[in-house]
A and B are shown apart, each in its own frame.
Chain A
Amino acid sequence: MNLKIRSIVVVMVLLLFTSGATYAASKVAISFDKYHGYTGTVDYLKAVNKAYPNITDLVEIGRSTQNRPIYVLAITNKKTGTTLDLEKTLVYERKLEVPNPPKQPAEQGKAGYLITGCTHGNEVTGNEVCLYFIDQMVSGYGTDPFITNFIDTKVAYVIPAINVDGLYNSVQLGAPQRVNSMNQVGTPFRQDVNKDGKYSQVRYKDPNGGYKIDPANPLRMVRIGRNETVPADQRYSVTIEALPDAGIDLNRNFPEAWWNTRTLMPAGSGDYATSAIETQVMCEFIVSHPNIFMVNEYHTQGGHVYRPLGSASDQSVKPRDLAVYDQILGKKYQELFGAEKLENVWKGSFADGPYYGLFLDWLYVQNGIYSMVTELWNPSQEIPSLKGLSGNDYQNALINYAKSKGMYLDWTKAKHPTYGDCEVGGWVALANNNAYPGENVLNICERQFAFDTYCMSLMPEMAIENVKVETISRVGNTRVLSVTADIVNKGFLPTSPQGTDGVALCRGDVAWLIGANNKITILSSNANEKLGNLYGTGTIPGFSGNNRSTVKWTVAVEGNEPLKIVASSLKGGTVVQNVKY
């Protein structure tokens, strides 16, 4: 989309909002003129699930330190899909007290795309992007052909907030909180000091303070330079009205490269990898949803995407995956931004690292999932009036813009319970690292939805083609048949990243010939054929492969017993086709 068309769309979206209208097709109204926070998110998820019971499932996947539910909304047609478990009847079930495990639900037979928000509680733009995604998906079902087909054949998972305590404190209590609430409650006080209904900054005179009022812009507080002499009565300390809980950075608590293997000391956050309950909840969700093919984690800020790895250089990323990341996904992202260079909007996380214990790395290395971290919001990219500015000019223009959006306040006198006489104003909570509600948030949501749907359009898709049956012999009621078929991946990307080598819980694609156990006998050695991971239809620069594999069975069948072929890929979905003979 070129810039002109894009800005027209933005204007149209804005018009819709200013006139108070919502999307015509959506049964659940949503607006982005203020942050939803935790309670707004939960209300919205419940309303969507209620309005769209046939294509959504709302599941509590665990609880936070402060016992708040963490939700995933699964968006998929609940009437479609199958798994091998559901198709295959075992010859013998276990007769022990320990029964066979429950059958995998149909959802596990669909390739999954996951987006997450608010691993850091104060990065609320990501939470809004998730809600926008949900709105577009559910309202597009039945009208938009791509979305309809996706929901019928695949599954989108949305976890709008992982660090739910951090999000609650950030928005509902006005205390921006990046970390989880590891120590449960660490809050000396939390209040709206000047009772203006907003949580912003507090400045008070302090002979040892590190700030002064910018002589050129009395709205702005600037740090006092190390060698600068400022009279004691012009020195300020700056804090915020509401203070967050103490905790740990969840995105350094995942079990990949958490240890510094050289010093044998911790490199990530927390006492040990997965020491935070929210990390455990996410790990369990990922491990129990091996059908997830790709993950986009939403963070702020920077206006770029980090792809793996954060803990090591690109030499540790499989070359085919690097090509997919940089030359397919990254290229699209660059195009959406109209960025001159790829590295302006797309890079390996290690370039700004190293980072240890990242969710990003754990997903890619230990789960074989294409993972990305999208760092939303960069004012210089998003606000036209800042273009070409730098230094003080940039800061002052940013403050002026934020002020026009109600995200930067004049300083007003107040009484602080701890610091006494003070002034309240400056940055409104969350405004220093988030897109401002309204136009800025919507711009980002719209662009990210375009990128997410592009990623979703590349996902693998299993199919069974060219089924042929030959009768080899017929004695009485029993026929010996030769069955051949092509197992095909019709999706753009291979059914698995190259990086799944050695990932214990991943498997290759498999095809089964299935019939009633007492009526058919497989004469060729195996009832199932293991195919490795099928390549896709798309071109990955520098690589090639086969997206089609022919399978063959010889089988003795009594009477006209029905036969079927099931093709199952862990991350590419499971399909079934009856064999006619």
Chain B
Amino acid sequence: MKKYLLLAVTLLLICLPATAQPNKVAFGDAHGENDFVINWKQYYTYDQIADIMHKLAKQYSDICKIESIGKSRMGRDQWVLTITNFKTGKDTDKPAIWVDGAIHGNEVNGSMDALYLAWYVLTRYKYDPDVYETVNRTTLYILPMFNVDANDSYLRFPNTESNPREPFRPVDDDKDGLFDEDMTEDVDGDGDISTMYIEDPNGNYRISDDGLRFVTIPAGSVWDGKRYRSLGTEGYDNDGDGRMNDDDLGGIDPNRLFPFDFRKSMGKTYPLSEPVVRNMWNFVYPRKNILVDFNYHNVGREVMFQYPPAAAVQRTPNTRYAAAPVVTDNFTFKKPYDVDAAYQHDADVMGKFVTNALYTLKDYHQIPANEYGETPSSMYYLKGVYSVLIELYDGNSPYADTDGDGRVTTDEYIRWVKNDLGEDAWVKPHEVDHPQFGKIMIGGTYKKHIGRTPPPRYIEDEAYRQSRLVFNMLRELPKLELKNPVVNKVANGVYQVEVDVVNDKIFPTASDRAIMMKQNTPDVMTASVSGGTLIEPVSSSMAATTTSYGGGGITKAAVSVGSKAEFRTKGNSVTTYRYTIATSNPANTTLTINLNSKMGGNSSLKVKLQ
């Protein structure tokens, strides 16, 4: 076998950024935070977040634009930020990550985290080479406030930590014929929804010794002081039916409205019935460049990943419906079941995705996503998007869990309030005149932004980790390179050139599922020869074959291609392509290869045969 070493190679990255290189700053110095100062120790309302987003889009107009993807039931705009270097190409011509926050109205830490992500990437762009390179070649779509009406209501009005969750389509929750007529109210006008107690000689509650809460009187024990009975959450019996707060605002869970396998037991209405959900889907569905999806929810510190379809025969015990997979360490991906062989690459990618997420988030755990109706299932099954739903924070706040047993007792909460948060975080029992019950007591509970959304001072702690997670995955979007050209003479006047297409990122240029659903954008590789003839492959098969040459030597497995080839490039992969060229004058023969991948970037290579 005669082997001719490569004589000249020109590697050209067409998508090199046109803008200036990032500023050099010392590691210990500010990286752009002072260019756009925000106080991250407070929650922002709908109007405030919309305002911050507009200001970001204005200040960073080269790499950020803002648009409304539609209006909610009550007429609020849903604002989306698109972040990419627009000078290096359109957002839709680059691989992208979609991030949305707070599809459930009350889960507003998701909004804060998504907003923080935008701020983090935009402010750092000019100072951090990593961010700079990534933003130049990828796109980030961020919808911080998904369920805008409920997001706004949750923040601005007295609410429990769990309400309002849904968009405001009236639903007769208590099935009494009236719609949304009986929700909680701030009876005492103190801005918080707490719990109501009434004095009752047979009641089994008393006020605790520290005066902060109501505690149960153990059965059989003696208590000579005042006894109370619980009346439930603060509010009125609005419809006078004898039941309190039994029909609150809305009732259609927006995260059960996505179209994949929509069914009676999940959705209540019909797919995308709420404007906020339909607007989002109408924006996302046509964008084939979206490869990865994050949906921010609370609570539980969970990485809920959408896993591919299961194989008909399972060798691994199926833990799909188990509470949580048992993991020996927190970071190793524990596959919930064996996948259908057609989706093996998706399964591999998802495993790496989850492990990376857990390393970044540290005290989170992995769990397979629910199926029908939720965002990840439609993102994956309909579009082939690798999808992860993040359950932020934890009702058993790690900040309050002083003994580290994973649970937070009332005592631990009280200690946390006293030592860390201050008593402003607590509603002390106080007397109130209730129009239906007369003199009652209200209080003994923590306030909003403790149980489901973190206290404001902890917002940045979570937001930073989440931003790093999304950014780390943005960095792992596919990036293709043409490498290692090798020329072999296989017969007199016949040469073969082998070249590697290398993607050292986790994500492929299209998922198995995207190809199955025809939602992929193929990588296109064209080639031409000057001074000779490019011989088209006999078979159009894109399977790799190993051939032996005249002398009996074996080269590596390669895919035979001709003037135009279309393919998908897997994550963390090296694929060898083989060109066959006939020429009588190898010294003056050049093969030019152009790789155009919307998802992996463009590159080209010239190979001289001798």
Question: A94 and B272: CB pair below 8 A?
Answer: no
Give Cα A86 to B278, complex, Å: 32
Query: A101 — which chain B residues lie within 8 A by C-beta?
Result: 168, 170, 179-180
A283 with B273: in contact, given A92-B238, A261-B261 (CB under 8 Å)? Answer: yes
Q: Report the separation of the CA atoms of residues A508 and B172 in the bound assembly, to the nearest whole angstrom.
A: 12
- B181 proximal to A (CB < 8 A): yes
Interface contact A504-B175, CB-CB below 8 Å: no
Closest A residue to B152 by CB, please name it.
A97
Shortest A273–chain B CB gap in Å is: 5
Interface of chain B residues 176 through 190 with chain A (CB within 8 A): 176-181, 183, 185
In chain B, what residue has the closest Cβ to A93? B238
Residues of B within 8 A of A94 (CB): 183, 185, 238
B-side contacts of A84, CB under 8 Å: 176-178
A7 CB–B CB distance under 8 Å: no
Asked if B259 and A96 sit within 8 Å, CB to CB, the answer is no
* Given A96-B153, A259-B261, A507-B172: A272 and B309 interface contact (C-beta under 8 Å): no
Given A91-B236, A259-B261, A273-B271, also A527-B241 (CB < 8 A): yes
B 378-401 to A, binary, CB cutoff 8 A, 1 in contact else 0? 100110000000000000000000
Alpha-carbon gap, A570 to B172, bound state (A) = 11
A503 at the interface (CB under 8 A from B): yes
Q: Within the complex, what minimum Cβ distance (angstroms) separates A396 from chain B?
A: 46
What is the minimal beta-carbon distance from A518 to any residue of chain B, in angstroms? Answer: 10
Query: Is the beta-carbon distance between B382 and A100 smaller than 8 angstroms?
Result: no
Contact B168 A91 (CB under 8 A): no
Given the complex of chains A and B, what is the CA–CA distance between A272 and B175 in angstroms?
31
Inter-chain contact A90/B179, CB cutoff 8 Å: no
B268 close to A (CB within 8 Å): yes
Within 8 A of A (CB), among B511-567: 516
Instruction: Report whether A90 and B239 are in contact in the complex, using a CB–CB cutoff of 8 Å.
Output: yes
Find out whether the CB atom of B285 lies under 8 angstroms from the CB atom of A271.
yes
> Which residues of chain A come closer than 8 Å to B378, judged between CB atoms?
272
B240–A517 CB distance below 8 A: yes
Closest partner residue, chain A, to B309 (CB atom): A264
* Residue from A85, A91, A258, A273 whose CB has the most chain B CB atoms within 10 Å: A91
Can you name the residue of chain A whose Cβ is closest to the Cβ of B310? A264
In-complex Cβ contact of A274 among B175, B180, B270, B436 (8 A): B270
> For B225, what are the chain A residues with a Cβ–Cβ distance below 8 Å?
none
Q: Is the CB of A510 within 8 A of B261?
A: no
- Given the known interface contacts A91-B239, A98-B249, A525-B242, the answer about A283 and B269 at a Cβ–Cβ threshold of 8 Å is yes
The answer to whether A91 and B262 touch across the interface, beta carbons within 8 angstroms, is no
Q: Is the CB of B262 within 8 A of A255?
A: yes
Question: Which residue from chain B places its CB closest to the CB of A263 in the assembled complex?
Answer: B309
| A366 and B264 contacting across the interface, CB-CB below 8 Å | yes
Answer whether residue B157 sits at the interface, using C-beta atoms and an 8 A cutoff.
yes
B382 interface neighbour in A88, A272, A527, Cβ under 8 Å: A272
Say whether A66 faces chain B, with CB atoms less than 8 Å apart: no
Q: Which residues 241-298 in A have Cβ within 8 Å of B in the complex?
A: 255-256, 258-259, 261, 264-265, 271-275, 280, 283-284, 287
Q: Which residue of B lies closest to A270 (CB)?
A: B259
CA distance A104 to B239 in the complex (A): 16
B260 at the interface (CB under 8 A from A): yes
Flag B165-177 by CB within 8 Å of A: 1 or 0 each: 0001011100111
Contact string, B251-279, partner A, CB cutoff 8 A, digits 1/0?
Answer: 00000000111111101111111000010
Instruction: Give complex CA distance A284, B175 in Å.
Output: 20
CB closest chain-B residue, reference A511 = B177
The smallest beta-carbon distance between B391 and chain A, in angstroms, is 24
With an 8 A cutoff between CB atoms, is B74 at the interface? Answer: yes
A365-B264, A505-B171 known; A527-B179 Cβ under 8 A: no
A95 at the interface (CB under 8 A from B): yes
B374 to chain A, nearest CB (A): 14
Cβ of B234 under 8 Å from chain A = no
Tell me whether A283 and B270 are in contact in the complex, defined as CB-CB below 8 angstroms, given that A84-B178, A98-B249, A525-B242 are known contacts.
Answer: yes
Q: With the chains together, A510 CA to B241 CA distance in Å?
A: 12
Any B CB within 8 A of the CB of A392: no
Measured between beta carbons, the chain B residues less than 8 angstroms from A395 are none
Residue of A97, A98, A362 with most chain B CB atoms under a 10 A cut-off: A98
Determine whether the beta carbon of A508 is less than 8 Å from that of B175.
yes
Q: Which A residues are in CB contact (< 8 Å) with B156?
A: 97
User: Size band of the B side of the interface?
Assistant: 35 or more
CB within 8 Å of B: which A522-557 residues: 522, 525-528, 530
B235, closest chain A residue (CB): A92
Task: Across the interface, name the chain B residue whose C-beta is closest to A90.
Answer: B238
Closest to A284 in B: B273
Report whether B271 and A272 are in contact in the complex, using a CB–CB cutoff of 8 Å: yes
Q: Is the CB of A280 within 8 A of B272?
A: yes
Q: Is B237 an interface residue (CB 8 A)?
A: yes
Query: In the complex the two chains form, is B271's CB within 8 Å of A255's CB?
Result: yes
Tell yes or no: B149 within 8 A of A by CB. yes
Shortest Cβ distance from A525 into B: residue? B242
Q: Does A122 contact B (CB under 8 A)?
A: no
Cα A366 to Cα B265 in complex, Å, equals: 9
| CB-based contact B168/A255 at 8 Å | no
B interface footprint on A547-569 (CB within 8 Å = 1, 0 otherwise): 00000000000000000001010
**B177: min CB distance to chain A, Å:** 4
A94 to B272, CA, bound (A): 28
Question: CB-CB < 8 A to B261: which residues of A?
Answer: 258-259, 261
**Distance from B416 Cβ to chain A, minimum over Cβ atoms (Å):** 30
Which A residue's beta carbon lies closest to that of B150? A98
- How many angstroms between the C-alpha atoms of A508 and B179 in the bound complex? 15
Are the C-beta atoms of B175 and A530 separated by less than 8 Å? yes
A35 CB–B CB distance under 8 Å: no
B176: chain A residues at CB < 8 Å are: 84, 507, 510, 512, 528, 530
Interchain CB contact under 8 A, B271 and A504: no
Are B268 and A504 touching (Cβ within 8 A)?
Answer: yes
Complexed CA–CA distance, A96 and B157 (Å)? 7
Contact of A527 with B271 in the complex, beta carbons under 8 Å = no
Residues of B within 8 A of A256 (CB): 263-264
B211-241 interface mask toward A, CB cutoff 8 Å, 1 = contact, 0 = none? 0000000000000000000000000111111
A427 to B270 CA separation, bound complex (whole angstroms):
40
Q: How far is the CA of A366 from the CA of B267 in the complex (A)?
A: 9
Please tell me if the beta carbons of B74 and A527 are within 8 angstroms of each other in the complex: no
A83, A85, A95, A98: which contacts B74 (Cβ < 8 A)? Answer: A98
Chain A's nearest CB lies how many Å from the CB of B442? 16
Chain B residues in 8 Å Cβ range of A287? 269-270, 273
Within 8 A of A (CB), among B436-464: 436
Complex CA gap A186/B270 in Å reads 29
Which of A39-75 touch B at CB < 8 Å? none
Closest chain B CB from A89 CB (angstroms): 9
Contact status B270-A503, CB under 8 Å: no
Give the residue name and chain of the B residue nearest to A101 (CB).
Answer: B170
Interface members, chain A 93-123 (any B CB < 8 Å): 93-98, 100-101, 104
- Residues on B with C-beta less than 8 A from A366 are 263-264, 267, 270
The residues of B with any CB-CB pair to A shorter than 8 Å are: 74, 149, 153, 156-157, 168, 170-172, 175-181, 183, 185, 236-243, 249, 259-265, 267-273, 278, 285, 309, 378, 381-382, 436, 516
Top 5 nearest A-B pairs by Cβ distance? A507-B175, A84-B177, A101-B170, A283-B270, A272-B259
A-B contact pairs, 10 of them (CB 8 A): A90-B181, A92-B185, A93-B238, A95-B185, A97-B156, A259-B260, A274-B272, A507-B175, A508-B175, A568-B177
Q: A522-B242, A568-B177 are in contact. List 11 more A-B contacts (CB 8 A).
A: A84-B177, A85-B177, A91-B238, A97-B157, A98-B157, A101-B168, A104-B179, A255-B262, A510-B176, A526-B242, A527-B241
